[in-house]
Structure 1
Amino acid sequence: MKAPFELAERVLKRFIDHGYEAYIVGGAVRNWLLGLSIHDIDIATSAKPEEVIALFPSTFPVGIEHGTVLVRHDHVDYEVTTFRTEGTYSDFRHPQHVTFIGSLEEDLARRDFTMNAMARDISGVIIDPFHGRQHLKKRLLRTVGQAEARFLEDPLRMLRAARFVSQLNVKADSEVIEAMQKQKCYIQRLSIERVLQEMSKLLQGHWVLYGLELLMATNVLFELPMLSNVTPQERQHLLSVDFNRCASLAERWATFLLALERAAPAAFLKKWRFSNALKNQILLLMQNYHCYKEAEWTAWNLYRVGLHQALAIQRLRAARHEAVESVMEHLQAMAQALPIQTRADLVIDGHDLQAWLDQPPGPWIKGTLANIEQAVVEKQLPNERAAIKRWVKACHEQKKKP
């Protein structure tokens, strides 16, 4: 059980050897106790930021005004933050000031949820003043202190609550639910970039429907941009889909928007400030879903959309309980059996057509190539020069007849 923290403990040792306290804190401790993978390790220390910088040769002052320094040690990055207390949150995100302190417990007291307010020392002992470990065992999500105070400091914590429900299969306690219901309007104070980041994480959780149920039960979801008019039928649709059939974030967002029957998904994606790359992926998925959701998967349809998109469309259909798994295998077999994968695989090109028919270049070349392409894909014509030449000349002669 020690392996995930072996490298981090070298960082802790350097602090301890120089007379400072240092602990692994937050999500890494929580995930370790749950047996989940650990991606980032945060460290809390009694050392002041300038003392942290003096201890390590490779540091970056990523949030030094709030006591955070990025330490790069053994090619691994750690966010190291000085023990601190926080002032009031005038902007619903950042404290107006922080005070560096010498107490780990006071530092843990400023955190959002009890399961995130635990620390692990270099010997593996868990420091847990707010009973986060006990709450984890009960799968209970509770705030450190009063939920209303925590959410008023940063309303994003309401979305984080739903995200943790989605990711960890925990259940929000009654105080968390009541506070979310009372303070849902403060969600509108958040930047859309922060909202998008949390909602994307929520949609990627294994228990995503539980997270969405919490947002609906507290009406927080309907405070989000362009979601105030969600109908009861759309809510039912959203809670009936199986997001875990999806293979990417784009597919999950496409499934979300399809369930809500958004008539103008492009406007939604623009309002939410999706990156151009993700926005285009989502719009293409939705467009292809509408085009092919009821179409038969012929060789030509599969060729036009491509195997990658065809499988994605089937996953969207499966998420909406409109498809069966056997179709996925059928599509892969069909794709392997296609005579060509792209137009570049044709053994002829436009120059050949000009030479065979002795005609100047023009739009007719593109149309003729498209016809050849479809005939080859549908195995009406072999992808051979002699056969294609005969076919092209026969078609040309047929058009010349009165």
Structure 2
Amino acid sequence: MSSHEVFEHAFEVIQKIEEAGGEAYIVGGAVRDYLSGRPVNDIDIATSETPERIQEIFDKVIPVGIEHGTVIVRHRSVSYEVTTYRVEEGYEDYRHPDEVTFVQDITLDLARRDFTTNAIAMSRDGRLIDPYHGHDAIRNKKIEAVGEPSERFHEDPLRMMRAVRFASQLSFKIEKRTEEALNHLSPLLQHISIERIAVEMEKIFGGSDYALGLQLLQSTGLKNHLPILKDLDINRNVPYSPLFGWHEIIAFYAVQYPQLSPENFMKSWKLSKDTKKKTVQLLHAYKIYERKKNVTSWLVYQLDNELFPSFSRLFSALDEGDMNLDKALTDMKDQLPIQNKKELSFQARDLLQLYTHLPKGPWISEWMDTIEHCVVTGEIENDYEKIKEWVRGWNPPASN
């Protein structure tokens, strides 16, 4: 596809800025992905105009980071991050520049970026502004820092994780000087919050060349600064396929290392309650599989539908089966006699009516769990009378 087809609506934003007397270019990941032949997602625009001027030019503007020169322009129901050309100085906190100066020259703006592949600008007519030969780096499948690598990594050490992430996603090699700086400066990673590192790690595991990413974490020494993972042999126990999300990553390593505490993993990486819930479910489902060495109806019943793709990927990453298991799981779930406990024809109140002389206690939930399991696995039909007769055949708990 031509640049005009891919960026048609973004070019309309640029045209409006130009008609108002300004200058603007598409920059960053959108240009890189377009030149790499990859799908283009978020489109960022750099401009000579100030945020205040952009607010005058466009009707729908969200002032997300005005102090850093960034606003979001809404155009044809799509959001575009529009940032004023700037240069940055001093990174005392290893993340935020101490001083931001707005400038009028796109090449000065490109000089502050991390890698040459991300330091390319595209004009409205598809012309490239490429002072650091980023297009050549894309053609040669190389990741190289803009200017002096050690300076770029000192500014924000997370860029070292980003280098590995791009290698994983793009199957690019890291250029020699950039890799040497990575090896030398990997201890700087300790200055970065674990939450920011976690985002990059997730993308490394989900990259098409994730094995290269894991190998680079080891060879550069970055792995030594990653909680839990630093103590695992991530190059020997490499997944057989990509993993998407921390719940899949933790479940994979918990199966490989039975002594590993998923709870510690989640705490060390400061992961969300949602991740914890999904990890617990995945591991529970996998333990059911391990016991039976089969994907049973009970396993499918216990697993939320939204986790079918995750279970399928975990299954594949552990070399247990193919990646299309989620369709089979969906088909199995659809054919189950019940989808949840509420659909049981026989409920706890029915059980109590059979044994009115017994006090309430844990036996009720235990018996209901057994009924649920037997209905799901097909041992008994989900029919009130049949379950009632079946329950009568059991020995009731003692009435002490």
What TM-score results when the alignment is normalised by the length of structure 2? 0.88
Secondary structure at the aligned position of 1:144 is classed as: coil
Corresponding residue for residue 281 of structure 1:
278
- Percent of pairs identical after alignment? 37
Contact 1:300/1:374 (CA < 8 Å) preserved in 2?
Answer: no
Matches within 5 A, 1:199-210: 199-210=201-212
The alpha-carbon distance between structure 1 residues 205 and 172, as it changes in their structure 2 partners (threshold 3 A), is same
2: distance between equivalents of 1:336 and 1:76? 37
2:183 is aligned with 1:216: no
Matches within 5 A, 1:220-239: 220-230=222-232, 234-238=233-237
Matches within 5 A, 1:239-318: 240-244=238-242, 246=243, 249-256=246-253, 258-259=255-256, 263-297=260-294, 299=296, 301-302=298-299, 305-306=302-303, 308=305, 312-313=310-311, 315-318=313-316
- Following superposition, the deviation at residue 369 of structure 1 comes to 2.9
Match of 1:339 among 320, 337, 340: 337
Q: Deviations over 1:337-376 (max 9, x none)?
A: 4333333222222333333454456234333333333333
Secondary structure at the aligned position of 1:284 is classed as: helix
Match of 1:185 among 171, 184, 187: 187
Contact 2:297/2:332 (CA < 8 Å) preserved in 1?
Answer: no
Secondary structure at the aligned position of 2:234 is classed as: helix
Contact 2:26/2:44 (CA < 8 Å) preserved in 1?
Answer: yes
1: distance between equivalents of 2:379 and 2:105? 78
Corresponding residue for residue 366 of structure 1:
365
Q: Deviations over 1:6-36 (max 9, x none)?
A: 1111111111112111111111111111222
Secondary structure at the aligned position of 2:21 is classed as: coil
1: distance between equivalents of 2:150 and 2:265? 30
2: distance between equivalents of 1:71 and 1:298? 49
**Structure 1 stretches of at least 4 aligned residues deviating more than 6 Å after TM superposition:** 325-330
Q: What letter matches 2:30 in structure 1?
A: A
- Following superposition, the deviation at residue 115 of structure 1 comes to 0.6
2: distance between equivalents of 1:256 and 1:95? 37
2:23 is aligned with 1:21: yes
Corresponding residue for residue 392 of structure 1:
391
Secondary structure at the aligned position of 1:60 is classed as: strand
2: distance between equivalents of 1:249 and 1:167? 17
Gaps of 5+ in 2: none
Corresponding residue for residue 129 of structure 2:
127
- Following superposition, the deviation at residue 50 of structure 1 comes to 2.1
2: distance between equivalents of 1:325 and 1:53? 48
Contact 1:243/1:252 (CA < 8 Å) preserved in 2?
Answer: no
Corresponding residue for residue 39 of structure 1:
41
Secondary structure at the aligned position of 1:242 is classed as: coil
Q: Deviations over 1:181-215 (max 9, x none)?
A: 00011000011121111111222212111111111
The alpha-carbon distance between structure 1 residues 289 and 106, as it changes in their structure 2 partners (threshold 3 A), is same
What TM-score results when the alignment is normalised by the length of structure 1? 0.88
Gaps of 5+ in 1: none
1: distance between equivalents of 2:257 and 2:177? 29
Per mean C-alpha deviation after superposition, the further-off stretch among 13-22 and 343-352 is 343-352
Q: What letter matches 1:172 in structure 2?
A: I
Q: What letter matches 2:351 in structure 1?
A: L
2: distance between equivalents of 1:327 and 1:21? 51
